[in-house]
């Protein structure tokens, strides 16, 4: 996310702006694809996202913003709406339910099971997170590609074209790295529960 923040500031300083605002672009793309979504521009406190259930697109920029970062986000979120949710996203509550059960198993395992069981538990959950990561990559990369292709139609100058390619690459990189680091953090939560279980069982700390 830091990379995108740096680029956002760079485009604002260099005045890489578009002939449409982020709200106008999102609404035009939604209309073009006959998608019935509300566009909510909430300022920097609201992260950009597409909510399929509420049929709303949230943008973290003011509606009048025309800079590359803002219009790219608008097109990216419409990209999510255009493609629809991926299979794991559709079953996300099931996924997090399985994760909670896994945490409890880790706690119980620390109390009663041998160290080898931890590796088995970790392998099973790592596979589930692996599926979630691949699902997220497809979801994000296809929305990012959609955004790049839509914005390509609006840029004419070489500087803008280069800026668009750079922003596209940064978006792809961020969305490849983020799910991996989040998954690693969630998986390490299992080890914390396992060690806590050991502590409760009187086996000392890990």
Residues that bind Zn ion (CB under 5 A): 140, 143
To Zn ion, the closest distance from the beta carbon of 18 in angstroms equals 19
* Residue number with CB closer to Zn ion (82 or 113): 82
Q: What span, in angstroms and rounded, lies between the C-alpha atoms of 15 and 121?
A: 51
To Zn ion, the closest distance from the beta carbon of 80 in angstroms equals 6
Tokens 């009663």 map to which residue? Answer: 112
Axis-axis angle for helices 2-13, 68-83 (nearest 10): 130
* Residue number with CB closer to Zn ion (27 or 77): 77
* Residue number with CB closer to Zn ion (140 or 160): 140
Say if residue 70 is exposed, middle or buried (CB neighbours under 10 Å; 0-12, 13-18, 19+). buried
Neighbouring residues of 139: CB distance < 8 A, sequence distance ≥ 6? 80, 83, 85, 86, 89
* Residue number with CB closer to Zn ion (78 or 125): 78
To Zn ion, the closest distance from the beta carbon of 193 in angstroms equals 30
For the record, the structure tokens of 64 come out as: 């009048």
To Zn ion, the closest distance from the beta carbon of 52 in angstroms equals 12
Q: What span, in angstroms and rounded, lies between the C-alpha atoms of 20 and 25?
A: 6
For the record, the structure tokens of 132 come out as: 């979630």
To Zn ion, the closest distance from the beta carbon of 47 in angstroms equals 10
- What backbone phi and psi angles, to 5 degrees, belong to 39? -105, 125
* Residue number with CB closer to Zn ion (143 or 195): 143
Half-sphere exposure of 180 (CA within 13 A, CB side): 6
């Amino acid at each position: 996310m830091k990379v995108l923040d740096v680029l956002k500031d760079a485009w604002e300083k260099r005045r890489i702006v578009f002939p449409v605002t982020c709200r106008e672009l999102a609404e035009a793309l939604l209309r073009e694809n006959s998608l019935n979504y509300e566009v909510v521009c909430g300022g920097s406190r609201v992260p950009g996202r597409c909510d399929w259930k509420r049929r709303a697109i949230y943008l973290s920029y003011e509606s009048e913003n025309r800079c590359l970062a803002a219009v790219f986000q608008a097109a990216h979120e419409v990209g999510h709406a255009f493609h629809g949710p991926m299979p794991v996203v559709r079953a996300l509550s099931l996924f997090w339910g399985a994760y909670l059960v896994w945490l409890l198993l880790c706690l119980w395992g620390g109390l009663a099971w041998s160290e080898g069981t931890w590796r088995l538990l970790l392998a099973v959950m790592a596979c589930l997170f692996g599926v979630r990561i691949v699902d997220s990559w497809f979801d994000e990369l296809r929305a990012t590609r959609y955004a790049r292709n839509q914005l390509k139609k609006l840029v004419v100058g070489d500087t803008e074209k280069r800026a668009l390619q750079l922003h596209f690459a940064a978006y792809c990189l961020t969305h490849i790295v983020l799910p991996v680091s989040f998954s690693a953090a969630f998986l390490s939560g299992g080890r914390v529960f396992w060690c806590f279980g050991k502590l409760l069982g009187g086996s000392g700390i890990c």
